[in-house]
């Protein structure tokens, strides 16, 4: 089946590597923001811009948001909302090198990248990224539009609200809740709950 990738930056390249390894999707092309000068990504052509959604839907009904997410989830969130409203189907994609245990539920448009691990009965909402070598342990609940970055660890029963980034290498104590729209800095140790909208930098959080 064909799929369009919305966003042709660095994260798109990593997702292409997952899709190629997974093998069940044919990448029909990349869709860039209006005004972008990118012509292709890893040999896949830019076939349109994000102001042509109806035309693109006729070309291919399946899509994935491949814009990256660090300081804000808003661009990924906005594209996801527009794609679903236009009628695109957003599949869940799991790298064949990842481990997803029994009882896991993954939302539409979520990608589990190479060597990531999602433990039994964990859930991940829609349009989220479980990045390379991240660990989402048993019974954890990650919201929609989240990014669990490379090598981050969410221990058992951790809850993460919508739109939150857990930075690379951060470690979150079992059972704690991290709110919506937070940014947990790379390498942080999170031992206590984090309220919505926090920039978590350990002692210097704001
Ligand atoms: C938190 C973060 C967004 C700050 O980046 P920034 O806005 O460019 O800010 P700076 O690096 O200039 O740092 C600003 C302040 O935050 C502190 N800070 C930055 N990163 C920190 C970290 N990981 N832990 C603790 N403090 C940190 C800095 O010491 C600095 O404090 P100061 O002003 O007192 O010197 C960034 O460090 C980060 O963690 N990004 C996520 C990276 C990531 O995981 N990417 C995913 C790739 S898959």
Asked if residue 201 has its Cβ within 6 Å of ligand 1, the reply is yes
**DSSP-assigned letters across all residues of the chain:** -EEEEE--SHHHHHHHHHHHHH-S-EEEEEEE-TT----EETTEEEEEETT-HHHHHHH-SBEEE----SS-SHHHHHHHHHHHHHT-B---EE-TTSEE-TT-EE-TT-EE-TT-EE-TT-EE-TT-EE-TT-EE-TT-EE-SS-EE-TT-EE-TT-EE-TT-EE-TT-EE-TT-EE-TT-EE-TT-EE-S-B-TT-EEBTBT--
Domain assignment of residue 203, yes or no: no
Asked if residue 107 has its Cβ within 6 Å of ligand 1, the reply is no
Structure tokens at 110: 């979520």
CA-152 nearest atom, ligand 1: 44
Is residue 204 pLDDT above 80, yes or no? Answer: no
Domain assignment of residue 204, yes or no: no
CA 133 to centroid of ligand 1, rounded, Å: 21
CA 197 to centroid of ligand 1, rounded, Å: 16
Q: Mind listing the pLDDT tens digit for each residue in 127-157? A: 999 999 999 999 999 999 999 999 999 999 9
CATH label of the domain that carries residue 162: 2.160.10.10
CA 189 to centroid of ligand 1, rounded, Å: 14
Asked if residue 131 has its Cβ within 6 Å of ligand 1, the reply is yes
Domain that holds residue 116: 92-196
Residues 19, 52 share a domain: yes
Q: Mind listing the pLDDT tens digit for each residue in 34-87? A: 999 999 999 999 999 999 999 999 999 999 999 999 999 999 999 999 999 999
Domain assignment of residue 97, yes or no: yes
Residues 125, 80 share a domain: no
CA 185 to centroid of ligand 1, rounded, Å: 6
How high is the pLDDT of residue 206? 72
Residue for token pair 């970055």: 149
């Amino acid at each position: 089946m064909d799929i369009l990738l919305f966003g042709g930056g660095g994260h798109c390249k990593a997702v292409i590597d997952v899709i190629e390894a997974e093998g069940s999707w044919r990448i029909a092309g990349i869709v860039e923001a209006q005004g972008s000068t990118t012509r292709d990504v890893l040999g896949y052509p830019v076939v349109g811009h994000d102001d042509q959604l109806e035309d693109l839907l006729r070309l291919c009904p399946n899509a994935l948001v491949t814009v990256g997410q660090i300081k804000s989830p808003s661009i990924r969130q906005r594209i996801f909302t527009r794609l679903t409203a236009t009628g695109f189907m957003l599949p869940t994609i799991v790298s064949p090198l990842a481990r997803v245990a029994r009882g896991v539920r993954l939302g539409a448009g979520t990608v589990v990248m190479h060597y990531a691990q999602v433990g039994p009965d964990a859930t991940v909402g829609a349009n989220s990224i479980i990045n390379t070598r991240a660990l989402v342990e048993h019974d954890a609940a990650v919201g929609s539009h989240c990014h669990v970055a490379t090598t981050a660890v969410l221990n058992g029963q951790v809850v993460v609200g919508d739109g939150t980034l857990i930075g690379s290498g951060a470690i979150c104590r079992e059972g704690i809740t991290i709110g919506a729209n937070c940014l947990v800095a790379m390498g942080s140790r999170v031992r206590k709950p984090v309220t919505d909208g926090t920039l978590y930098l350990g002692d210097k959080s704001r």
